């Protein structure tokens, strides 16, 4: 900033026009921050263009979209007639995510209500830290737990041949999604102004009545947003699901069936395909599909959460 | 109301001391607040008037670090006795806050909120509920304005209407005492006038205790007046007398605007 330190003696300028170092620093920082802000948009467009480039040509020229979405046979390595049907993969992802939500919603909403409405002082602070810590556990560690702890446990408890199935992955994914859902749900509860609680309590409402009749209805958009983000997390999760589902293409009829997820398919197969081959492009098509779904879910969650701020 | 109750006071305190943590906010408050009258509490900021008001329906306890000794009796019953059920106290002693705080629910549900939580055993029919809503809203002079939009959210009303609604929702549970913590301070002059009018309408049916730091309002809108300073009651008397001929020098100084 040595240039800026030079006294500004521009003859035509009055005192009010003088620019000092602070002015340049301000400009510089503004520029940097703007770059940082805009980069998120650039990256997302870049990623979309990349995925579309790899998959879209295939979608338009070669792929039979009806077959893609309705066939339950994913047999890309069949030499004579490879088949690219993702119905079973969608069923796999959906069943695992669905079960995960059944596990995560009561846990996360319960935790959020406890942290937000009941816990005070140190209990509250340490719980919040712990929840955040839980969210930071790498997904491969969860997958490891699924493989080495849940798997034998399920085999023993339910007397089934394989413990890597919808139940296993659903529980693992539910526990993984719960922390983030908890913190978003807790934010939603915290956004409910305290004067509502005070008003209800002053009328003689019990704590539970205050929560049930006032706080939860007032926070319902935020809570729905939390659930939607959990669903988005479920659709996008790869490693833990890959490890815990059993990874076999299958439309599940019970929670003890092994399945395969969309994400896990990409992760497991992309490395072994020739760049530009049909199989490669089919995997990218799955990528586009996942991208669109998670994008829509996140957008929806965002809109829903925003709705509550306005209302 | 029986004659016996009429003669008695609605709220009596004996040796009431209150601490927030280690800070003592009320010192040895002894008051007899008359039944069916409007009593105003005046005094400079921080004199303990709101604290006192908030301890009469024990909403102070939300803070968790409030300690109290002495007693507050509402219609002869010590509300701080160990056997007392907090929810029943709050049913008998309704509270109106400084900032109108209708719940983010439809107007109708706001009016019925207290009624529903206190009558869980026998649920009322829709017709009965309609009756309750109309009666409460008529009492606060709000019925004609909102009768066509009872399903609209209460938070959409103007501040004056919100504050009237906050009074209306207390009435269905038939409280005996209404506490009002600067009920007009968030309102414009017209709203203030309307709410003061309403308070007059309600006097006689309810014992009303109103905190204000608007002395003109205390003078206009109350029959008895209590002047507090630094957590102590300095003077308590008929409003006219207190303003025209205060017994204490401190009262005189305050109402003449020499401090506060």
Contact in structure between B97 and A198 (CB atoms under 8 Å): yes
Q: How far is A176 from chain B (nearest CA, A)?
A: 33
Q: Which of A120, A122, A199, A217 to mutate to test the interface with B (most CBs of B within 10 A)?
A: A199
In a domain, A236, yes or no: yes
Both A147 and A286 in one domain: the answer is yes
Helix, strand or coil for residue A192? coil
pLDDT digits (tens, 9 = 90+) for A224-237: 999 999 999 899 99
Beta strands at B177-181 and B93-96: parallel, antiparallel or unpaired: parallel
A42 or B123: whose pLDDT is higher? A42
Residue B102 is encoded by which pair of tokens? Answer: 């209708």
Both A145 and A252 in one domain: the answer is yes
Both A30 and A130 in one domain: the answer is no
- Mean pLDDT for A66-80 is 87
The pLDDT value recorded for residue B213 is 81
Both A140 and A23 in one domain: the answer is no
Residue B215 has pLDDT above 70, yes or no: yes
In a domain, A219, yes or no: yes
Q: How far is B117 from chain A (nearest CA, A)?
A: 6
Residue A100 has pLDDT above 80, yes or no: yes
Residue A278 has pLDDT above 90, yes or no: no
**pLDDT interval class at B3 (50, 70, 90):** very low
Both A243 and A154 in one domain: the answer is yes
Residue A215 has pLDDT above 60, yes or no: yes
Both A50 and A98 in one domain: the answer is no
Residue B201 is encoded by which pair of tokens? Answer: 């309408």
Task: For domain B3-255, give the CATH superfamily.
Answer: P-loop containing nucleotide triphosphate hydrolases (3.40.50.300)
Does B113 contact A200 at a Cβ distance shorter than 8 Å?
yes
CA–CA distance from A201 to each of A225, B93, B103, B165 (Å)?
27, 12, 11, 17
Pick from B62, B87, B166: CB nearest A204? B87
Q: Is some CB atom of chain A closer than 8 A to the CB atom of B64? A: yes
pLDDT digits (tens, 9 = 90+) for A113-152: 999 999 988 999 999 999 999 999 999 999 999 999 999 9
Residue B195 is encoded by which pair of tokens? Answer: 């709410």
Query: Beta partners for A74?
Result: A84
**What's the number of domains chain A is made of?**
2
As a whole number of angstroms, the distance between CA A289 and CA B247 comes to: 83
Helix, strand or coil for residue B93? strand
As a whole number of angstroms, the distance between CA B237 and CA B248 comes to: 11
Q: How far is B162 from chain A (nearest CA, A)?
A: 13
Residue A18 has pLDDT above 90, yes or no: no
Of all residues in chain A, what percent carry a pLDDT higher than 70? 94
Residue of A nearest to B55 (CA): A202
Portion 84-143 of A in contact with B at CB < 8 A: 120
In a domain, A71, yes or no: no
Q: Which of A25, A44, A61 is the last residue before a domain boundary?
A: A61
In a domain, A73, yes or no: no
The pLDDT value recorded for residue A7 is 56
Residue A4 has pLDDT above 60, yes or no: no
**pLDDT interval class at B6 (50, 70, 90):** very low
pLDDT digits (tens, 9 = 90+) for A185-198: 999 999 999 999 99
Q: What is the ipTM of this complex?
A: 0.87
Pick from A199, A200, A204: CB nearest B91? A204
Say which range, A75-79, A142-146, B83-87, has the weakest mean pLDDT: A75-79
**pLDDT interval class at A308 (50, 70, 90):** low
Tell me how crowded residue B31 is: count the other CB atoms within 10 A of its CB: 19
Both A115 and A32 in one domain: the answer is no
Of all residues in chain A, what percent carry a pLDDT higher than 90? 63
Residue A59 has pLDDT above 80, yes or no: yes
Q: Residue B87: its chain A contacts at CB < 8 A?
A: 204-206
Does A196 contact B88 at a Cβ distance shorter than 8 Å?
no
Does B173 contact A209 at a Cβ distance shorter than 8 Å?
no
pLDDT digits (tens, 9 = 90+) for B105-120: 999 999 999 999 888 7
> What pTM was computed for the model?
0.81
Residue B61 has pLDDT above 90, yes or no: no
The pLDDT value recorded for residue A13 is 61
Q: Is some CB atom of chain B closer than 8 A to the CB atom of A213? A: yes
**pLDDT interval class at A174 (50, 70, 90):** very high
**pLDDT interval class at B121 (50, 70, 90):** confident
Pick from A198, A209, A213: CB nearest B62? A198
**pLDDT interval class at A8 (50, 70, 90):** low
pLDDT digits (tens, 9 = 90+) for B138-194: 988 889 999 899 999 998 999 989 999 999 999 999 999 999 999 988 888 888 888
The pLDDT value recorded for residue B119 is 84
Both A13 and A52 in one domain: the answer is yes
Domain, as residue range, for A289 = 88-310
Q: How far is B247 from chain A (nearest CA, A)?
A: 35
The pLDDT value recorded for residue A197 is 94
The pLDDT value recorded for residue B108 is 93
- Mean pLDDT for A283-288 is 91
In a domain, A245, yes or no: yes
Both A143 and A190 in one domain: the answer is yes
As a whole number of angstroms, the distance between CA A8 and CA A6 comes to: 6
Pick from A196, A204, A311: CB nearest B117? A204
Domain boundaries, chain B: 3-255
Residue of B nearest to A192 (CA): B104
Pick from B88, B105, B117: CB nearest A203? B117
**pLDDT interval class at B4 (50, 70, 90):** very low
**pLDDT interval class at B2 (50, 70, 90):** very low
**pLDDT interval class at A11 (50, 70, 90):** low
**pLDDT interval class at A12 (50, 70, 90):** low
In a domain, A9, yes or no: yes
Q: How far is B114 from chain A (nearest CA, A)?
A: 6
Residue of B nearest to A201 (CA): B59
Residue B251 has pLDDT above 70, yes or no: yes
Residue of B nearest to A204 (CA): B87
Both A52 and A92 in one domain: the answer is no
Of all residues in chain B, what percent carry a pLDDT higher than 70? 97
Both A161 and A38 in one domain: the answer is no
Helix, strand or coil for residue B10? strand
As a whole number of angstroms, the distance between CA B95 and CA B97 comes to: 6
Q: How far is B238 from chain A (nearest CA, A)?
A: 29
Average pLDDT, chain B: 89
Alpha-helix runs per DSSP H in chain A: 2-5, 21-61, 65-70, 87-113, 121-135, 139-145, 151-158, 166-190, 194-202, 207-209, 216-218, 220-236, 239-244, 262-269, 278-310
Both A138 and A27 in one domain: the answer is no
């Amino acid at each position: 900033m040595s240039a800026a330190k030079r006294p500004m003696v521009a003859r035509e300028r009055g005192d009010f026009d003088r620019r000092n170092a602070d002015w340049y620093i301000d400009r510089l920082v503004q520029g940097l921050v703007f770059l940082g802000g805009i980069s998120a948009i650039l990256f997302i467009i870049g990623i979309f263009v990349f995925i579309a480039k790899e998959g879209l040509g295939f979608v338009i020229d070669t792929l039979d979209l009806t077959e893609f979405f309705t066939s339950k046979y994913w047999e890309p390595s069949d030499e004579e007639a490879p088949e690219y049907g993702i119905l079973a993969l969608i069923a796999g992802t959906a069943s695992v995510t669905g079960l995960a939500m059944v596990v995560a919603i009561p846990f996360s909403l319960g935790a959020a209500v406890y942290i937000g409405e009941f816990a005070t002082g140190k209990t509250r602070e340490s719980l919040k830290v712990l929840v955040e810590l839980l969210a930071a556990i790498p997904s491969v560690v969860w997958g490891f737990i699924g493989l080495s702890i849940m798997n034998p446990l399920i085999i023993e408890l339910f007397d089934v041949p394989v413990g890597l199935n919808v139940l296993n992955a659903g529980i693992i994914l539910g526990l993984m999604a719960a922390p983030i859902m908890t913190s978003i749900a807790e934010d939603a509860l915290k956004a409910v102004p305290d004067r509502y609680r005070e008003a209800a309590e002053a009328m003689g409402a019990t704590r539970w009545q205050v929560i049930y009749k006032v706080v939860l209805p007032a926070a319902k958009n935020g809570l729905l947003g939390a659930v939607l983000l959990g669903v988005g997390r479920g659709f996008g999760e790869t490693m833990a699901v890959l490890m815990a589902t059993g990874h076999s293409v299958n439309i599940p009829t019970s929670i003890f069936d092994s399945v395969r997820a969309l994400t896990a398919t990409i992760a497991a197969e992309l490395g072994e395909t020739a760049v530009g081959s049909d199989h490669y492009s089919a995997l990218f098509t799955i990528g586009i599909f996942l991208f669109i779904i998670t994008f829509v879910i996140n957008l929806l969650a965002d809109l829903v959460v925003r709705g509550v701020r306005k209302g | 109301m029986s004659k016996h109750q009429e003669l008695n006071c609605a709220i009596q305190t004996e040796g009431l001391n209150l601490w927030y943590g280690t800070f003592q906010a009320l010192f040895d408050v002894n008051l007899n607040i008359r039944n069916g009258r409007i009593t105003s509490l005046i005094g400079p900021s921080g004199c303990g008037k709101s604290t006192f008001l908030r301890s009469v329906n024990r909403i102070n306890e939300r803070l968790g670090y409030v300690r109290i000794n002495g007693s507050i009796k509402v219609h002869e019953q010590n509300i701080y006795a160990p056997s007392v059920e907090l929810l029943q106290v709050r049913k008998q002693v309704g509270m109106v806050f400084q900032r109108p705080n209708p719940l983010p629910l439809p107007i109708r549900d706001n009016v019925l909120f207290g009624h529903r939580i206190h009558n869980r055993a026998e649920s009322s029919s829709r017709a009965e509920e309609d009756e309750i809503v109309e009666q409460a809203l008529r009492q606060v002079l709000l019925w004609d304005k909102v009768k066509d939009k009872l399903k609209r959210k209460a938070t959409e009303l103007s501040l004056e209407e919100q504050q009237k609604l906050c009074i209306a929702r207390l009435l269905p549970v038939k409280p005996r005492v209404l506490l009002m913590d600067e009920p007009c301070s968030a309102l414009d002059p017209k709203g203030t006038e309307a709410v003061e009018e309403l308070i007059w309408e309600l006097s006689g049916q309810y014992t009303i205790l109103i905190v204000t730091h608007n002395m003109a309002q205390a003078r206009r809108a109350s029959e008895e007046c209590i002047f507090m300073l630094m957590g102590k009651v300095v003077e308590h008397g008929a409003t006219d007398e207190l303003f025209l001929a205060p017994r204490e020098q401190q009262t005189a100084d305050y109402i003449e605007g020499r401090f506060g």
